[in-house]
Chain A
Amino acid sequence: MKRLAVFCLACAFVVLTGGALIELGPAAIDLRGQVAAQLAASGVSHPVTAVLLNFRGYDTLLEVAVLLIALLAILAVTDKPPAAPVPAHPLLQAVARGATPAMILVAVYLLWAGAHRPGGAFQAGAVLAAAAVLLHLVGLLPGWGAPGLRLRLGLTAGFALFLALAAALLSQGALLQYPPAAAGTLILVIEAGLTVSLGLILAGLFLFLSRDEGGET
């Protein structure tokens, strides 16, 4: 009964919204023009990066905070020490060992490329995290226990740097108001910090979680 009702509601919603979508005219405001016009002043030439770290950089700042929160919450609910890693086949381990430096290189490239073309801190961080997860899966990297000071610093460094710069830029008149000349450099610095921390955080989402292997009875 409930299933049927929900199904009907969902269908009605799709038809109604879909219909309204199709008959929609052009938007009142087009930000594409504004983005293009201000792109030169943003410090980067790739529009998505410009939006992400300059025009709407404040969103990104808060978004990193969301990631940190998720990490904190995960730490708060998993208090077991990490289990010993289960080693995979030596061949797999060798492949993973070989892949890791390559992935780090890819991450650095993505970070650097972000200013001009697709790529940036998030993608680079994700690749770093993927490397860590890979190492963990083949048994070369143990799951993480309660983070020590160095790991905590690493997890927060990118965010702290971003936050500190954002606050320091208040001297320019507004939060995150880059001086046009230094914008490119500052964005690269922020992205570099974020890449490391995001890599650690995203890896942490996996490695902190994977501690309760073997169960608890």
Chain B
Amino acid sequence: MADPLVGLVLLPLGWATLAFVLGPGRGAWAALAGIAAQAWLAWLLAAQVGAGGTARHAVGGWGAPLGIDLAADGLSAALLLLTQWLALGVALYARSYFAAGDPARRYFWPLAGFLLAGLNALFVANDLFNLYVTLELVGLAAVGLVAAAGGERQIAAALRYLFAALAGSGLYLFGVALVYGVYGTVSIATLAPLITPEAPRLVWIAGGLMALGLVVKSALFPFHFWLPPAHGGAPAPVSALLSALVVKASFYLLLRLWLGPFAPLAPAAAWLPALLGAAAIFWGSWRAIRAERLKPLIAWSTVAQLGYLFLIFPLLAVPAAFGAGVMQVFAHALAKAALFAAAGVFIQATGQDTVAGLAGAAARLPVTLFAIGLAGMTLAGLPPSAGFLAKWQLIEAALALGHWPIAVVALAGGLMAAVYVFRVLRQAFCLAPAGAPVAAVPRALEWTAFALAAASVLLGFFGVDLMTLIEVRA
């Protein structure tokens, strides 16, 4: 593929289609080969962006505003890299996870392929309407993956998720319609110089609606209601993809618009997301601490961890805040994928997913237990994990601007995360109930969970590389 930017969108579309044609449950190898190639392309792209600045591609050769431009700056390249490599881990996991007769397996590969295509297309899009289409691509694929498990709970969760996603993208589309009405274009690059603080009132309304829609899709408190049932109810590999990547996509878009075309308007509303983020941290952590089952615990933790992402908005005047946001996206994505993967291992081993039920199994699945430990370090922001670097930068940015309450929230949130993480971990040390059956689990499951968790910690040593990459701005 000549241009990695294009290849990253076309490849998953291609193998997803192939997987569907091959038939229900088939296509794992096509998927793995495709994702491996994508991972390599993302690597090429990151190198290219790091060396030569923003990569661009004018689809159809027309160029914006008539045509659609694709573009990748450091932020896009970083997220593409994260998406492909994380997907590679989840795909390896999923290949061993689904039992032969599992209904969730029938259309997993094509749906996952379209999901990845949607994510990649979203990260390289530079056109507001094209972004709407990618949002729908991601949203519907995600709903399909949740629903595919087929249980009553999952279907109900998927329906709730679908309505939230549709409401979110509807709000976004309405905003886009207003923007096109005002300026006559939807190309981000063309819009950026046009929007000024003196913009007509309609632009403010449009920005607000788009932000609201994206916030609903990112499950920011109080719009988080759809997330715990969906992420907590889906099969483990699906939960991993959703919690790690899908919610990040709409956050990415919000950040991109906030820092990009809408930057002149943004400061007016900077504290609102931060306040909601703080509420999300406390409420999500509290529910995670109280949860009795493992996957809902992890899903509530996602609600809390997403809160950190929104704390950065009043701090964006300091570069460290942007770094904190991206680092948190990476840290949480890797750690959360690892946690859901590990939860899947325990569920397969014990046939149930209560936290208390881990007592017998944890000692016999040490690799998985370590995965939870390492991922937990990242979530609680303990050094030397990537989560710690995110927390460090967040606190530093908060102090630099004198907004110390944000630093306090970050520290308190870390302690609350430690509480729910250790609630799980300590089960490993409890005296096991005698004779609890523990089924054999494929080793690939345990080790992929571990690899993801280890990556979330090891990234803590390579913060400089990531920060250098995301400094390449459009």
- Which of these binds chain A: B13-21, B257-265, B284-292? B13-21
Given contacts A68-B114, A146-B24, contact A159 B17 (CB under 8 A): yes
Contacts of A23 in B (CB 8 A): 200-201
How far, in Å, is A198 (CB) from chain B's closest CB? 15
* Max chain B C-beta neighbours (<10 A), residue from A25, A54, A56, A166: A56
**B183 engages A170 (CB within 8 Å):** no
- The secondary-structure label for the interface of chain B is helix
Chain B residues whose C-beta falls within 8 Å of the C-beta of A4 in the assembled complex: none
* Distance between B334 CB and nearest chain A CB, rounded to angstroms: 26
Is A120 an interface residue, CB under 8 A from the partner? no
In-complex Cβ contact of A69 among B24, B103, B111, B205 (8 A): B111
A–B pairs, 18, beta carbons within 8 Å: A24-B181, A27-B183, A28-B182, A28-B184, A29-B190, A38-B66, A59-B130, A59-B133, A63-B133, A65-B114, A73-B111, A75-B106, A75-B107, A76-B107, A152-B20, A163-B13, A167-B6, A177-B59
| Alpha-carbon gap, A212 to B379, bound state (A) | 44
B114 near A69 with CB under 8 A, answer yes
Contacts A24-B200, A24-B202 hold; do A62 and B155 have CB atoms under 8 A apart?
no
Identify B140's interface contact among A21, A31, A69, CB under 8 A.
A69
B23 within 8 A of A: yes
Q: How far is the CA of A35 from the CA of B67 in the complex (A)?
A: 10
Known: A72-B107, A76-B144. A29 touches B183 (CB 8 A): yes
Contact of B184 among A17, A30, A38, A57 (CB under 8 A): A30
Which of B184-210 touch A at CB < 8 Å? 184-185, 190, 194, 200-202, 205
Contact call B150/A170, Cβ cutoff below 8 A? no
Point out the residues of chain B lying under 8 angstroms from A88, CB to CB: none
In the complex, A176 has a CB within 8 A of chain B = yes
Question: Closest residue to B114 on the A side, CB-wise?
Answer: A69
A20 to B175, CA, bound (A): 13
Given the complex of chains A and B, what is the CA–CA distance between A75 and B19 in angstroms? 14
Total contacting residues, chain B, CB less than 8 A = 60
Is the C-beta of A185 less than 8 angstroms from some C-beta in chain B? no
Which residues of B sit under 8 angstroms from A59, Cβ to Cβ? 68, 129-130, 133
A interface residues, Cβ below 8 angstroms from B: 16-17, 19-21, 23-25, 27-31, 34-35, 38, 54-59, 61-63, 65-66, 68-70, 72-73, 75-77, 79, 146, 149, 152-153, 155-156, 159-160, 163, 166-167, 170, 172-178
- A76–B148 contact, CB under 8 A? yes
Known: A62-B134, A159-B17, A175-B60. A77 touches B148 (CB 8 A): yes
Question: Which residues from A are CB-within-8-Å of B1?
Answer: 170
- Asked if A163 and B136 make an inter-chain contact with CB atoms under 8 angstroms apart, the answer reads no
B104 proximity list for chain A (CB < 8 A): 76
Nearest neighbor of B129 in chain A, beta-carbon distance: A59
The answer on a CB contact under 8 Å between A57 and B59 is: yes
Enumerate B1-59 residues with CB–CB distance to A below 8 Å.
1-3, 6, 10, 13-14, 17, 20-21, 23-24, 57-59
Q: Are the C-beta atoms of A170 and B21 separated by less than 8 Å? A: no
User: Which residues does chain B contribute within 8 Å of A38, judged by CB atoms?
Assistant: 62, 66
Q: In the complex, which residues of chain A have a beta carbon less than 8 angstroms from the beta carbon of B136? A: 66
* B181 and A27 contacting across the interface, CB-CB below 8 Å: yes
Instruction: Find out whether the CB atom of A163 lies under 8 angstroms from the CB atom of B14.
Output: yes
Q: CA of A188 to CA of B454 in the docked complex: distance in angstroms? A: 52
Collect the chain B residues with CB atoms within 8 Å of residue A20's CB: 200-202, 205
B147→A73 contact, CB < 8 A: yes
Give the most central of A20, A156, A166, A178: most B CB within 10 Å: A20
Kindly state whether residue B451 has any CB partner on chain A within 8 Å: no
Query: Is the beta-carbon distance between A72 and B202 smaller than 8 angstroms?
Result: no
Which residue of B61, B117, B150 has the most chain A CB atoms within 10 A of its CB atom?
B61
Contact: A170 with B61, CB < 8 Å?
Answer: no
Interfacial residues of chain B within 225-247, with CB under 8 A of chain A in the complex:
none
A76-B147 CB under 8 A given contacts A31-B65, A35-B66: yes
| A56 B67 Cβ-Cβ under 8 A | yes
Interface of chain B residues 329 through 380 with chain A (CB within 8 A): none
- Whether the Cβ atoms of B182 and A167 lie closer than 8 Å is no
Question: Does B110 count as interface, using CB distance less than 8 angstroms?
Answer: yes
- Whether B72 sits at the interface, judged by CB under 8 Å, is no
- Select B2's contact among A149, A160, A170, beta carbons within 8 Å: A170
In the complex formed, the residue of B with least CB distance to A170 is B2
Additional A-B contact list (12), CB under 8 Å, known A24-B200, A29-B194: A21-B181, A31-B65, A31-B66, A34-B66, A55-B66, A58-B59, A62-B121, A62-B134, A65-B137, A76-B148, A77-B148, A172-B61
